[in-house]
Structure 1
Amino acid sequence: TNLVHKVFKGIDSPFGYGEVLHSGFVDTAILINKYHGYLEQKSFLVKERFDYSQLQQSDNHIQYKDFKASHIVFAEGFGMHSNPFFKYLPLDGTKGELFIIKAPDLDLDVIVNTSVFILPLGNDLFKVGATYNWKDKTVFPTEEGKKELVERIKEILSCEFQIIQHFAGVRPTVNDRRPLLGSHPKHKNLYILNGLGTRGVMLAPAMAIDLYNYIENKIPLDKTIDINRYAHFL
């Protein structure tokens, strides 16, 4: 890291900043929307709730409604708890709440990360988060989360701000802090890609490659990410 002593109007930072080098930012909303559009153009995407009762299995393929395939990969995040095949896995889940705020007097063109992160969105809008709640597993914003975020923001910002949006989600976390990859112990053509926790954007590409190589090239998964470590839970 490099030490930066630049003054950003609206932020109280008497000791400067540590600049993280060789980093970047992925706008996941744009990425997902564009990729969905690409898949829809190729007729590769079906938007509907998955009906597990419609899944039929044989020794060498699976059938789901009109679709026939050699393998199926479930990448459902915290929704895995509704999956009858993989719900035995210890996916705990950690709720997080975030804001979109409007702060015209905040002059910031970089991402700041301290007790909260502050991400410039343009037009005086900033994304700010996030909280950690290990008990509440709902996706609804709470007054408790709002109060916590407001208090943290006020510790950092020396300017006024307005809450434009308040939203929440559940991170797919695992107690041993390792991803959940691999094939079902009893149904070998059913696979899972989950448990990426709070670093999903960074972990997902590498984990997807590992799972692909496991399925197509028979390259074993690292035992720390293989769901075989939880086979005794089934």
Structure 2
Amino acid sequence: MSADYLIVGQGIAGSVLAWTLHQRGKKVVLVNAPQRPSASLVAAGIFNPLTGRKLVRTWKADELFPFLTVFYGEIEKKLNTHFLHFTNIYRPYRSVEEQNTYMALTADPSIYQYIAEPVDNQQYAPYVQNPYGGLEVTGSGWVDVPVFLHAIQEFFRQSDQYIEADFNHNELVISRDNVVWRGQAYGKLLFCEGPHAKDNPLFDWLPYNPVKGQVLDVVMDNYHVTHIVNQGIFIMPVESNLYRVGATYTWHDLDWQTTEDGKAFLEQKLQAVLKVPYRIIGQRAGIRPATKDRRPLMGLHPAHPAIGIFNGLGTKGVSLAPFWADRFADFLEDHKELDPEVNIERTFSLYYSGKNPV
């Protein structure tokens, strides 16, 4: 056997799963096609326990966030790199009504635990519109995804466990106990292809619901806010004078091209909240691997138990991947049951009723 696992795709999902299985003593080979567009390389990498206009607690936040802190922190130490940034998220109130609504919501202990108090609204006032004040979310931050992906890639490359290739399904020989690809046998093949999974003939029946998103890179010389600001869009400090602004959400025109409409939308939102000048130096677009029920897709193929998938992390990949990769490893290695909310068994009816199941 060449390796225990062959993982196709080295975005957030593939990188996190590969590291998780490696840490369990498994030999993993990563296959990546760097010429293909990557949602992970566009992602801002924000993790946030309270999201949306209604200040909703992120699904399974109490489990996800402690887990990701330890997971990414250990990788930083072992690979001598830095990509994990903790920072609060400041949310200026749009109105007195919103202020009252949010204050009522924070009476809920499950919400309040993620609220930082007191808030110094004056530190933000010279830079953003906050006449009604705002609240700060704690337990949040961002992962510098390109730095993280590069560190994982170099780790597996140095162990001769990284292959640059555009994976061709016609080169695959599938049996019940293993797969053979390019003459090498692997115990299991796991697909982590993000939005490209819809083109995978083995898993094209899954209920994907990809979402296009665009972000801007902007420079501001007189903006001295170190936290992320979120009011309809986010303004995230990246490095000295450089900030990321995003993001758009569209379910049509699912290509990887930036658009003037996307730029105009983000600028309109930015100008409504920002008090200082800015200049745009870049714009990027990506397609998020979201699903119809907003839950990840993981498990083994209904007809081929040596083939699995770890996908559908949507807009919260950096938050979801560590915890669910660990649970997927429990399933693969220790035969523990997967949570029905994420197990692709919930969608098997689509496979059996679909067109030409492979």
> What TM-score range do you get, normalising by the shorter chain?
over 0.9
Deviation at 1:175, TM superposition (A): 1.1
The letter for the 2-side match of 1:7 is Q
Question: Which residue of 1 is the match for residue 108 of structure 2?
Answer: none
**1:5 and 2:121 aligned:** yes
Alpha-carbon distance between aligned partners in 1 of 2:185 and 2:204, rounded to the nearest angstrom: 24
Alpha-carbon distance between aligned partners in 2 of 1:147 and 1:109, rounded to the nearest angstrom: 25
**1:58 and 2:175 aligned:** yes
The higher relative CO (CA closer than 8 Å, separation ≥ 6) is in: 2
Match of 2:233 among 107, 113, 116: 116
Alpha-carbon distance between aligned partners in 2 of 1:95 and 1:21, rounded to the nearest angstrom: 28
Alpha-carbon distance between aligned partners in 2 of 1:15 and 1:227, rounded to the nearest angstrom: 45
TM-score (norm 1): 0.96
1:113-139 CA distance string (max 9 Å, x none): 221111112231100100000112111
Alpha-carbon distance between aligned partners in 2 of 1:5 and 1:102, rounded to the nearest angstrom: 23
Match of 1:42 among 148, 159, 181: 159
Alpha-carbon distance between aligned partners in 1 of 2:266 and 2:140, rounded to the nearest angstrom: 25
Q: Secondary structure at the residue paired with 2:215?
A: strand
Question: Which residue of 2 is the match for residue 222 of structure 1?
Answer: 339
Question: Which residue of 1 is the match for residue 188 of structure 2?
Answer: 71
Deviation at 1:25, TM superposition (A): 2.5
The letter for the 2-side match of 1:114 is Q
Alpha-carbon distance between aligned partners in 2 of 1:112 and 1:55, rounded to the nearest angstrom: 47
The letter for the 2-side match of 1:4 is D
Q: Secondary structure at the residue paired with 2:163?
A: coil
Segments of 4+ moved more than 3 angstroms: none
TM-score (norm 2): 0.64
Deviation at 1:84, TM superposition (A): 0.6
Question: Which residue of 2 is the match for residue 188 of structure 1?
Answer: 305
* Greater helix content: 2
Alpha-carbon distance between aligned partners in 2 of 1:179 and 1:126, rounded to the nearest angstrom: 29
Question: Which residue of 1 is the match for residue 140 of structure 2?
Answer: 23
Deviation at 1:36, TM superposition (A): 1.0
Unaligned runs of 5+ in 2: 1-114, 352-358
Alpha-carbon distance between aligned partners in 2 of 1:63 and 1:78, rounded to the nearest angstrom: 24
Identity of aligned residues (%): 32
In 1, are the aligned partners of 2:175 and 2:304 still within 8 Å (CA)? Answer: no
Question: What is the number of equivalent residue pairs in this alignment?
Answer: 234
The letter for the 1-side match of 2:327 is D
Considering only aligned residues, what root-mean-square deviation do their CA atoms show, in Å? 1.2
Q: Secondary structure at the residue paired with 2:142?
A: coil
In 2, are the aligned partners of 1:88 and 1:233 still within 8 Å (CA)? Answer: yes
Alpha-carbon distance between aligned partners in 2 of 1:6 and 1:46, rounded to the nearest angstrom: 52
The letter for the 2-side match of 1:76 is E
Question: Which residue of 1 is the match for residue 17 of structure 2?
Answer: none
In 1, are the aligned partners of 2:177 and 2:305 still within 8 Å (CA)? Answer: no
**1:140 and 2:257 aligned:** yes
The letter for the 2-side match of 1:42 is S
Question: Which residue of 2 is the match for residue 206 of structure 1?
Answer: 323
In 1, are the aligned partners of 2:300 and 2:308 still within 8 Å (CA)? Answer: yes
The letter for the 2-side match of 1:224 is E
In 2, are the aligned partners of 1:55 and 1:64 still within 8 Å (CA)? Answer: yes
Unaligned runs of 5+ in 1: none
Alpha-carbon distance between aligned partners in 1 of 2:144 and 2:133, rounded to the nearest angstrom: 27
Deviation at 1:67, TM superposition (A): 2.5
Deviation at 1:78, TM superposition (A): 0.4
Alpha-carbon distance between aligned partners in 1 of 2:158 and 2:134, rounded to the nearest angstrom: 45
Question: Which residue of 2 is the match for residue 100 of structure 1?
Answer: 217
